[in-house]
């Protein structure tokens, strides 16, 4: 059995300190619930900043929650507080994920990709122009990125090979459902209702527009060699454009591999099963023997019968062994 290549890439954060910008009034790129964010950074480093931010929090109604905006830059913006922090703060998963996303946005923006910073289901979507459909519309490949902050990895996959984005600007109605646009203010792809620029810009062809253009989704033959080459080209961009100055550096070893010897190994931390009495175990036999089922529905406990099937007599005997 040969090694299996999977679509994950290793990165390293190549800085010792970073700038964190915080604001209540200025809509920076990221945001978090105020109570959550304050609880995570509550210490002497932030005591003064948290005090001032709390003073500026607007009143909220109908169970709404206050937001605090944050980003990783030191560009001058009004009503924004800046703090130079040690890298230890990037051990907070939400900050680490946001930091990696910001660095990826910077890398791909310089290479003229279109960026959707908050897509559904993944952490980041990037769009690379591959061809023109006609004079008005261009064909893009969408790449989906998932960030794994604990593992220092990202996964990279192809989400679409025929996304249509207009070459020319169109007037649009921000109230239209299921319409995505390229915001003329910040250049990001987003739902039209979240647009902060004027209502004239590039639009992404939704199902209705594709129907008007008589474009039908056609089944495509899938070739893993072509798929690998396509995402490997994106890896090459990450490898060449990420560096110590950027604050993020991708390792040169290529995609992650799973060797034959790894297949039979069990990750004991990630495969725990929860049984009764709060017991956790990776082994179903010993878990049921020592803890029993996690929960038995009310009213059927007296009539409950559980059938266990095991590979051999030894396993079955061990289950009931006291």
Distance (Å, whole) CA 82 – CA 231: 36
| Cβ pair 111, 90 in contact under 8 A | no
Going from N- to C-terminal start, the domains of the chain cover 14-89, 96-250, 273-320
Q: Is the dihedral of CA 211, 215, 218, 222 positive or negative?
A: negative
Residue carrying the six token digits 């992650």: 256
- Give 164-193 pLDDT, tens digit per residue: 999 999 999 888 888 999 999 999 999 999
- Give 252-264 pLDDT, tens digit per residue: 888 988 777 766 6
Q: What percent of the chain has pLDDT over 90?
A: 50
Looking at residue 219, its pLDDT comes to: 67
| CA-based max dimension of the chain | 77
Q: What is the residue-wise DSSP string for 184-204?
A: TTT-BEEEGGG--S-SEE-EE
**Backbone dihedral angles phi then psi of residue 77, each to the nearest 5 degrees:** -135, 145
For residues 212 and 74, which has the higher predicted lDDT (pLDDT)? Answer: 212
Phi-psi region of 296 (alpha: psi -120 to 50; beta: other; left: phi over 0): beta
For residues 222 and 185, which has the higher predicted lDDT (pLDDT)? Answer: 185
- Give 102-137 pLDDT, tens digit per residue: 999 999 999 999 999 999 999 999 999 999 998 999
User: Which pTM does this prediction carry?
Assistant: 0.79
Q: Which of 125, 131, 167, 128 is nearest to 147 (CA)?
A: 125
Is pLDDT above 50 for 285? Answer: yes
Looking at residue 302, its pLDDT comes to: 64
Q: What percent of the chain has pLDDT over 70?
A: 87
Looking at residue 317, its pLDDT comes to: 64
Distance (Å, whole) CA 235 – CA 221: 23
Beta bridge partners of 95: none
Is pLDDT above 80 for 62? Answer: no
């Amino acid at each position: 059995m040969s090694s299996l290549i999977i679509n994950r890439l290793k990165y390293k954060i190549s800085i010792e300190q970073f700038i964190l910008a915080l604001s209540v009034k200025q809509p920076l790129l990221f945001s978090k619930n105020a109570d959550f964010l304050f609880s995570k950074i509550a210490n002497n480093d932030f005591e003064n900043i948290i005090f001032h931010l709390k003073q500026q929090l607007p009143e909220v109604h109908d169970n709404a929650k206050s937001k605090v905006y944050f980003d990783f830059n030191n560009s001058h913006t009004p009503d924004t507080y800046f703090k130079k922090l040690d890298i230890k703060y990037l051990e907070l998963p939400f900050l680490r994920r946001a930091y990696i996303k910001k660095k990826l946005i910077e890398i791909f923006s310089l290479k003229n990709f279109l960026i959707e910073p908050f897509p559904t289901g993944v952490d980041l979507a990037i769009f690379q122009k591959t061809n023109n459909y006609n004079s008005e519309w261009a064909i893009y490949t969408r790449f989906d990125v998932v960030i794994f902050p604990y593992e220092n990895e990202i996964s990279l996959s192809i989400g679409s090979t025929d996304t249509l984005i207009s070459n020319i600007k169109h007037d649009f109605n921000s109230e239209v459902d299921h319409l995505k646009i390229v915001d003329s203010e910040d250049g990001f792809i987003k739902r039209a209702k979240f647009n902060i620029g004027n209502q004239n810009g590039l639009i992404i062809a939704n199902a209705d527009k594709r129907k008007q253009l008589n474009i039908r989704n056609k089944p495509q033959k899938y070739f893993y060699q072509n798929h690998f080459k396509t995402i490997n080209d994106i890896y090459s961009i990450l490898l060449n454009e990420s560096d110590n100055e950027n604050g993020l550096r991708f390792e040169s070893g290529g995609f992650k591999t799973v060797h034959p010897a790894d297949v039979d190994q069990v990750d004991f931390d990630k495969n725990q099963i929860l049984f009764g009495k709060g017991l956790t175990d990776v082994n179903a036999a010993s878990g049921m023997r020592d803890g029993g089922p996690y929960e038995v529905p009310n009213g059927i406990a007296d009539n409950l019968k559980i059938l266990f099937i095991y590979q051999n007599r030894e396993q079955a005997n061990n289950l009931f062994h006291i």
